[in-house]
Amino acid sequence: MSAFHGSINRGNLPQQIAGPRMDNQNQSSIADVARPCKSDARAAGLREKIRNIYAIAAELETMFPGRKFNPDGNMVGSIGEAIAEVEYRVELFALCTPGIDGAVCGRNVQIKTTQGREVAVKKPKAADLLLVIRISSDGNWERVYDGDSERVWNALATQKESFMREKTISVKRLRQLQAGVEDRDRILPI
């Protein structure tokens, strides 16, 4: 049984887990280019490692009451990039490539990862596409948005940039924007 179907049997909805996209499968997209699939074992191993990270954080919080050991920052970003490689065929670039984390089918991709209800984005410079992934402590993840990066930035036109030159967008709003993404701009999971 695949991880997707096993998760469905545990009561998760398809959009709550990393698994095959069930919409628009017969329409062309940038992911239609034939590529070798990575094994489900690699995704399962990644899920296990994510669960372990959160379990260790919980143990540390028990050992040191009042202290928080939430995974954040670079770790969460790197987890999202690993998910993008394993689940979405994104070829990751070197860490010193500003604003671009990788590419898929010749298009640059910026990857953003969150554990919460919002994510900070910067004005796209070179990235054609934006992939936003939400991870959870049980090791699962969901694709919140995959599509044109300008579409997201334009939706934030009235919001002022932070001192870090970022704007914040909610997961809910990203899901709404996802509904209007053209098929050619979607990054389908393996």
CA atoms of 98 and 140, how far apart (whole Å): 28
Nearest Cα residue to 166 out of 101, 108, 118: 118
Residues 45-85 pLDDT 10s: 999 999 999 999 999 999 999 999 999 999 999 999 999 99
> Which helix H or strand E contains 160, and what residues bound it?
none
How far apart are alpha carbons 179 and 187 in whole angstroms? 14
pLDDT of residue 14: 33
What is the C-alpha to C-alpha distance for residues 148 and 154, in angstroms, rounded to an integer?
Answer: 10
User: Domain 38-181 carries which CATH code?
Assistant: 3.40.210
Domain ranges of the chain: 38-181
Q: Given this model, what pLDDT does residue 26 score?
A: 36
d(CA 58, CA 40): 27
19: its two tokens: 């698994």
- Segment 92-150, tens digit of pLDDT: 998 878 889 999 999 999 999 999 999 999 888 877 999 999 999 999 999 999 999 99
**Cβ-contact 141, 68 below 8 angstroms:** no
The overall pTM is greater than 0.85: no
Residue 156 has pLDDT above 80, yes or no: yes
